[in-house]
Structure 1
Amino acid sequence: MKRFFITFVLPMCLLFHSNLNADAAENNRNLVGHGGPVNTVAISPDGKSALSGSLDYAVMLWDLDASLNASPDASKVAKKTKPNSQHHRFIAHKGAVSAIQFFPSGDKAISSGDHGNVYVWDLKEKKVIAQLEGHLAKVVSIDISNDAKVATTSSWDGHVILWDLATHKLIHKIHVQNHPVNAVLISEDAKTLYSAGYDGKIRSWDATTGDFIKVLHSHGWPINIMRWLPEQKQLIFGTTNGDVQIFDPTAEKIVKVLIPHEKPVLGLAVSKQHNLIASGGNDGIIRVWDITNWELKGQTITILGPVWALAFNHDGKSLYYGSLDDEVKYWKITDKDDENLWIDHKPRRFQVKTGLPLGELQFARKCSVCHTLNENDANRAGPTLHNVFGRKAGSLAGYNYSDSLKDSPIIWDEKTIDELFVEGPAKVVPGTKMPLQKVADDKQRKALIAFLKKATQ
């Protein structure tokens, strides 16, 4: 059966006029400080702070009071140009941060990342209090029990792990499948785990023994993400084919099917206080639903997409989301059809396809996500490339290098940089946290190196 949706388009002049002051107010509430796209966002139980994780390897703790208590008069807010300032920047991760969650108390948090590490943070003392080791690949999902005694994580290594949060020890390591496990949840009584992933199946597990119970549902497409609805009796999940559905684990059936996204669903959020859910997809669309009557409360298009992260504010009228931008975006929920917040928004630096000399274009598309050319590293995942020629690998002060780079005898010059892009970082410096980045085309690679030699001086 084909699905038909009707979209009404407002005249551009009316849309722009109506959004002008609102956009100024909302941009003032954006959380600015990351040096790469934002993958995950969480709001504290009391609504006063937020945590975000990014491709820049950093976790950031934000004070939301100043932002959310800003004057409702958009014309006054528009005169303020200073964005919400970060409260603290945590840099223990050795790869992109994939998931993050506050403890129910709000004074601690747990985060995971692409490197397979899981960290427990003391947010008052601003420090890591534990590193949980057990996963061998990207850890993409976290859930904490209501009593904060245990946490569970799932990974692309095909496993779910249950952790003791008092001792920070591994309780059970459960092999689910030989493919990524994208989502895991723990029941309200902490006795059952629910996993989902690449094979599209939702499975249940005994949290006490780690034993498999049963397959509860087979969707047919990979499941990317799951969240509990209020009271933890039902869950919402999003899939690679764009489906957003509500599932009852006890009845073992789908109880609601929402408007699907045109591309994979990557972000979900639930507001227990206001009975709201939100979905975000690779299509750049965010939808907000009232689960008491399943009314669509709001929809917006972020033209850059995808939407990886979503988190409701405690007012139930706004949310934060993460996408390709280097900041956490604020959106005041509106019922306008297809509201486009980013009219005339320029492509990200790494999305440029034309209009630059070949070498500069290669830098923009392949290097600028992680590196800057200026002395200021702009909080990127990688160190600044300023004066990189003639510099010993792993020697720039203030950057948290991997041990392999710090111990490397490599001096960066035309020859060694060429080898890096021909062979790849993992072969040139085994154990490095640099992501795979090759430039096979000789012309493009030579142009890139020539550009770097001139631009980094």
Structure 2
Amino acid sequence: MLPLAARAEAPMRGHGGPVRALAVTADGSRALSGSFDASAILWSVEDGAALRILRFHDGAVNAVALLPDGGILTGAEDGRIALWRAGPEPERILLSHAGPVSGLAVAPDGRRIASSSWDGTARITPLDGSPALVREGHRGPVNGVAFLPDGRLVTAGYDATVRIWPEAGAPLTVPLDAPVNAVAAAPDGEIAAAGADGRLHLLRPDGTVRASLEVGPRPVVALALSPDGRRIAAATVGGAVAVVDRAEMRVRLTLVGPGLPVWSLAFRGPDELITGGGDRLVRRWDLATGEPIGPLAMARPADPLAAYAGDRGAEVFRACEACHTLTPGSGNRAGPTLHGVLGRRIAAVPDYPYSPAFRQLDIVWTAETIARLFEIGPARFTPGTKMPEQTIPAVEDRAALVRFLEAATR
């Protein structure tokens, strides 16, 4: 057990964008974070110092993992998975997906890794250079991967399924009620899965559902299991983290930060949790008290949508504000600024790293093209986009969003 007296004086700050991914070494001394700013940082947890800053990817680092031998893995929007050891550059590129990498996992034997991607596949890649094994079958993006203790792969998909893959043959498919954003495996083989409906599900290794629990009204976007498997942490886009007793399947503790989305989390031993979110910080939490370790230094920023209270279009836009700004001088986030978007040609914001396929599109952003984007989804309307797949089914909501953008981005 880690000593509760070991406390950092402040959160780990250094990223220029939301912290999308986290991993912690087995001894708890180091943490690895990946960010929308296209970098990964290796931290000394005790003093909050950045030991290494890893820059290579063309896009957000969505997934990170640590190998038993000290190697570092990063996976990103550019589809590439990089293996880092000593030195400022990756030792090698392990794999290139045809879409953004969304998750990474290391096999129990430490000799294989699994990756999930929005290209609709998961892949198992041996570290000895042997060819990757492709797992296909999900209808849409694969959002997460995990290895069971016996080496079988588990995948979570936007198609509202969890799939358990044998060494050969078809997977066992478990349908759930909403798109699944995250998956994790316990030491005894039980599977935790959660997603867009804010519910946490526990599945037995044979795919049957043991229990389900609503952990919040907002979508769950990340899961982590404590090393002993007794606790599950579930992070939501609303900014809260539910700490769940797995055996009893009940929320024992809720951690509440500045109110920004929490995109990533990892346990540091059984009694400490590390989180990363939209405020660009990596935070430590004492699970005995539910309090932050060190000051909760960054207050919630001013709400850029406060002036539009009651505007339906502003409410619809809340799903977009983590990635896009609206006003001059506010700059780019994971997506380009929307200031001046009406009448602007696609891929025209200076200094934003658009994908090559996106730059080839011939579109001008108008009320009609924006509405069409959210009617059929970014993947169909703008092939090659880095934008998360999402639609707005209601005609009136699409119209309200367009009216809001016309007013807010002038």
**TM-score of the two chains, using structure 2 as the length reference:** 0.72
For 1:117, the aligned partner's letter is: R
Distance 2:148 2:287 in 1: 30
Secondary structure of 2:262's partner? Answer: coil
Mapping 1:322-337, distance limit 5 Å: 322-334=276-288
Unaligned runs of 5+ in 2: 309-323, 337-349, 357-362, 371-381, 389-401
Distance 1:218 1:274 in 2: 24
Mapping 1:120-269, distance limit 5 Å: 120-122=83-85, 124-167=86-129, 169-190=130-151, 192-207=152-167, 209=168, 211-215=169-173, 217-231=174-188, 233-250=189-206, 252-269=207-224
Q: 2:64 matched to which residue of 1?
A: 100
Compared CA separation, residues 296 and 335, structure 1 to 2 (3 A): farther
For 1:321, the aligned partner's letter is: T
| CA distances 1:395-430 after superposition (whole Å, capped 9, x unpaired) | x9xx997997xxxxxxxxxxxxxx998899xxxxx9
For 2:82, the aligned partner's letter is: Y
Distance 2:285 2:325 in 1: 32
Compared CA separation, residues 27 and 381, structure 1 to 2 (3 A): farther
Mapping 1:394-433, distance limit 5 Å: none
For 2:125, the aligned partner's letter is: W
- Answer whether contact 2:260 2:300 (CA < 8 A) is retained: no
For 1:235, the aligned partner's letter is: I
Q: 1:368 matched to which residue of 2?
A: 330
Q: After superposing the two structures, state which structure 1 stretch, 25-34 or 172-181, moved more.
A: 25-34
Compared CA separation, residues 152 and 336, structure 1 to 2 (3 A): closer
- Answer whether contact 1:94 1:433 (CA < 8 A) is retained: no
1:111 matched to 2:43? The reply is: no
Compared CA separation, residues 41 and 366, structure 1 to 2 (3 A): farther
Q: 2:232 matched to which residue of 1?
A: 277
Equivalent of 2:52, from 88, 113, 133? 88
Report deviation, 1:343: 10
Secondary structure of 1:280's partner? Answer: strand
| CA distances 1:231-278 after superposition (whole Å, capped 9, x unpaired) | 3x111111210111211022x311122343211111111112473221
Q: Which has the larger radius of gyration?
A: 1
Aligned pairs, how many?
Answer: 351
Equivalent of 1:59, from 7, 32, 40? 40
Secondary structure of 2:261's partner? Answer: coil
Q: 2:340 matched to which residue of 1?
A: none
Equivalent of 2:18, from 37, 54, 58? 37
Distance 1:381 1:27 in 2: 32
Distance 1:294 1:237 in 2: 13
Name the % identity.
23
Distance 2:111 2:156 in 1: 23
Higher helix fraction: Structure 1 or Structure 2? 1
| CA distances 1:275-303 after superposition (whole Å, capped 9, x unpaired) | 32211112222121333555644212234
Distance 1:257 1:348 in 2: 36
Compared CA separation, residues 312 and 212, structure 1 to 2 (3 A): same
Q: Superposition RMSD on alpha carbons, in Å?
A: 4.2
Secondary structure of 2:215's partner? Answer: coil
Distance 2:82 2:141 in 1: 20
Distance 2:201 2:190 in 1: 10
- Answer whether contact 1:297 1:333 (CA < 8 A) is retained: no
Q: 2:274 matched to which residue of 1?
A: 320
Compared CA separation, residues 239 and 274, structure 1 to 2 (3 A): closer
For 1:213, the aligned partner's letter is: P
- Answer whether contact 1:281 1:305 (CA < 8 A) is retained: no
- Answer whether contact 1:282 1:307 (CA < 8 A) is retained: yes
Distance 2:194 2:355 in 1: 38
Compared CA separation, residues 33 and 279, structure 1 to 2 (3 A): same
- Answer whether contact 2:263 2:276 (CA < 8 A) is retained: yes
Compared CA separation, residues 119 and 293, structure 1 to 2 (3 A): same
Distance 1:365 1:135 in 2: 34
- Answer whether contact 2:37 2:60 (CA < 8 A) is retained: yes
Unaligned runs of 5+ in 1: 1-21, 67-83, 356-361, 372-379, 383-395, 405-418, 425-429, 448-457
Report deviation, 1:189: 3.2
Report deviation, 1:135: 1.3
